[in-house]
Amino acid sequence: MRAVIQRVTSGAIAIDKKERGRIGQGFVILLGIAPSDTDADIDWLVKKISALRVFDDAEGKMNLSIQDITGEILLVSQFTLFASSKKGNRPSFNFAADPSIAIPLYEKMISALEKALGKPIQTGVFGANMQIEIHNDGPVTILLDSKVRE
């Protein structure tokens, strides 16, 4: 799994010009799922995301986690995170999981993040054409890959 985590002051998601979700301070997370991903990848990512210290403390240092600030999460499925442009200029998405694999893992990720935060998170709709409003704070953008684990 790959997650692009953006620290935001706010974020929103719309489908067909209708707002589906909105958050205040927290993370907008774009999540890509590969065919080899499992529950272990979810567990690792959720632990990292919930403990990631990228929010400012009283001294202005990135020292607080999303849990510390009681922040919010907007999670968006993003199969294009597994795009390959090795051949030519038109990306291939062969490394992204088929929806039969990805949808159950996406739904488990939602549940795991809600459990870790102790509250509901906002989401997009898997496979939908979505418009995402991101007010990146910093900017702070972190890439996590459950297979690389750096």
Q: Is 131 annotated in the active site?
A: no
What are the distances in angstroms from CA 51 to CA 20, 46, 113, 126?
Answer: 27, 8, 12, 26
Which of 6, 27, 55, 79 is an active site residue? 79
Q: Is 9 annotated in the active site?
A: no
Which of 6, 27, 55, 78 is an active site residue? 78
**Exposed, middle or buried, 80 (CB in 10 Å: 0-12/13-18/19+)?**
exposed
Q: Distance between CA 9 and CA 136 in Å, rounded?
A: 7
Which of 9, 80, 93, 131 is an active site residue? 80
Q: Is 67 annotated in the active site?
A: no
Catalytic residue annotation = 78-80
